[in-house]
Amino acid sequence: MNAKRFVLCLFMFVLLGGTCFISCGNAASKVSSTKEKVNVTQADKDFQSFLEKFTSSATFQYTRVKFPLKTPIALLSADGNSEKTFPFTKEKWPLLDVEILKEERITQEEGGVYVSKFVIDEPAHKEFEAGYEASEVDLKVVFDLIDGDWYVTDCYTAWYSFDLPISELKATIEQVQEENKAFEELHP
């Protein structure tokens, strides 16, 4: 009888122990899932803090753009048949303020709809685009989380659109730099 009781107790212990183990495994899974949600939420919160600082400090903004950007500036050459590329460097960077990176949808009086929004919004990669709905994008900014910090890694801006003549590149860069000086005075 004692042997039967021992086997029954052992069976119950294994059964309960296994249940506890399974239950603990599920709890660990839930904790892991909760941690992932907290990390995603924290990354989103950190991105918002980064974006506020990025659009309000020229000095900070310059430190958080990975120059030269991934995609070079491509312009149509004077012959109209080929393109010439230029690295997208710091001297060509147009500082971005909070209004430029605001998500909105504006219907113009003349009928066009201007849309600016994050088209990709992942925990470690975000892409912002702005432009008229029925037209090409005027601005695309790519943000990547690198070693815990957000950086701009790529950009397309209408300042350097494909239809800009190469002969006007220098003047355009000077105009961008003038705009940047005004930004730097307001947001050093």
Residue 95 lies in a domain: yes
Per-residue pLDDT of the chain (188 residues; tens, 9 = 90+): 444 443 333 333 333 344 333 333 343 444 444 444 445 456 667 999 999 999 999 999 999 999 999 999 999 888 888 899 999 999 999 999 999 999 999 999 988 999 999 999 999 999 999 999 989 999 999 999 999 999 999 999 999 998 899 999 999 999 999 999 999 999 99
Report the CATH number that the domain containing residue 101 is assigned in CATH: 3.10.450.410
Residue 130 lies in a domain: yes
Write down the pLDDT at residue 44: 61
| Nearest residue to 91 via CA among 168, 175, 149 | 175
d(C-alpha 64, C-alpha 144), whole Å:
10
Residue 32 lies in a domain: no
- 161 with 35: CB under 8 angstroms? no
Residue 13 lies in a domain: no
Q: Which residues contact 157 (CB under 8 A, 6 or more apart)?
A: 94, 138, 139, 140
Residue 83 lies in a domain: yes
Range of the structural domain that residue 130 is part of: 58-186
Residue 66 lies in a domain: yes
**Bond prior to 68 in cis (omega within 30° of 0):** yes
| Nearest residue to 91 via CA among 176, 184, 181 | 176
Residue 22 lies in a domain: no
Domains of the chain: total: 1
Write down the pLDDT at residue 16: 38
- 58 with 188: CB under 8 angstroms? yes
Name the phi and psi angles at 113, rounded to 5: -120, 120
pTM reported for the whole predicted model: 0.76
